[in-house]
Structure 1
Amino acid sequence: MAAGKRREWQFAGGIAEDWMLNAPVASRRRTARSRAPHQEVGVLIAHAPSAIDVVQELATEGWRQAMAHRLTAHLGDQLWTEVDQTWHPAHCKRLAKAARNLRKLNPSLSSLDTVLGRQNVRRAVNRTAVGVALVDRVITADTQAEAVVLAMRVTGIALCEFRGWLTHCQCLKDLADETAPAQLEGKVLEVSDGYLTRAG
């Protein structure tokens, strides 16, 4: 083959000249892009709202005020004042872990209508004052442990929203991992407009 003559290599999908095969990867990418058919850009693609989007949309000033009032009733003035001023993602992680611990309990041993059941539930959440307060304020014997788990998570979500920590909210992450996006708002409202208005 004469010196300087371009060589061509057969490959699946076409012929590549030997300068393309030996060119840096970036050069080959530029060449590939230059030969690609023209494609229009700038098309807006709709996407499903994230869990954070859902909570931020829900958290109007009226919702915040109602949640603050209801959580004060459940946690007590002193604890509410403390967590409202000092809440941090580390506290949320502790509360989220307590909720997971509660979910792991055998249902037959975590019934809130027995002394033993309440003791087991309290033991599962005893590393977080917020969790303990929510358990202690359950006044209906037929309340299910799963309802308390949800109440703990929504409480953590509300406190993170109040303090601007939603992007670090473990309670929100755990709830979103187990809940279909279309049902997430309903789960939050189930606690904020339901559970917290009935118990405590």
Structure 2
Amino acid sequence: MTDKELTPAEEAAARAKEQQEQDALPYKWTQTIADVDLTTVVPGNLKGRDLVVDIKKTALSVGIKGQEPIVKGDLFQAVLLDDSTWTLTSNPDGTKTIEVHLDKVNKMEWWPHVVTTAPKLDVTRIQPETSKLSDLDGATRGMVEKMMFDQQQKEKGLPTSDEQKKIDILKKFQEQHPEMDFSNAKIG
């Protein structure tokens, strides 16, 4: 496949084909940049003990005991086992839903599919939800705020936070050593 832009008709056809492939799967799935949630509906008379849900670091199997698995295969990427779970919930129509939550190890990558045998989604078209700085953990938030500040400084033609640190260190050194000539000093 080439990197050419698709016409609107080709784009619509590609999306329709992708949606048809996803609708044909025996499960539904959604994702954020950090996790994947998979659901599948099963008969309402089933209990947890009637199910086989096996979440491994790089593989997943979900099904009913004694039957072919509904989902089985290698995961697209590794998951954090301690933070990945499954539940069985009742639906108003008398059926039940198996809900599988997979916590991604790599929280910077969209998955084109849950298991590698399933049809792929074009992840380049994913429109991530906008997040607020307050949603981020402290270290990530600090890094993002620094990047935003540095970008604003560059746009104004002013020094970035790292460049400003170097300037401040040089000024302090100059004040401590007035006998030295700093006229040819370069900060870089």
Confirm or deny a common fold (TM above 0.5). Answer: no
Bigger-Rg structure (1/2): 1
Which range, TM-score by smaller chain? under 0.3
**Larger fraction in helix:** 1
| TM-score using structure 2 length | 0.22
**Larger fraction in strand:** 2
| TM-score using structure 1 length | 0.21
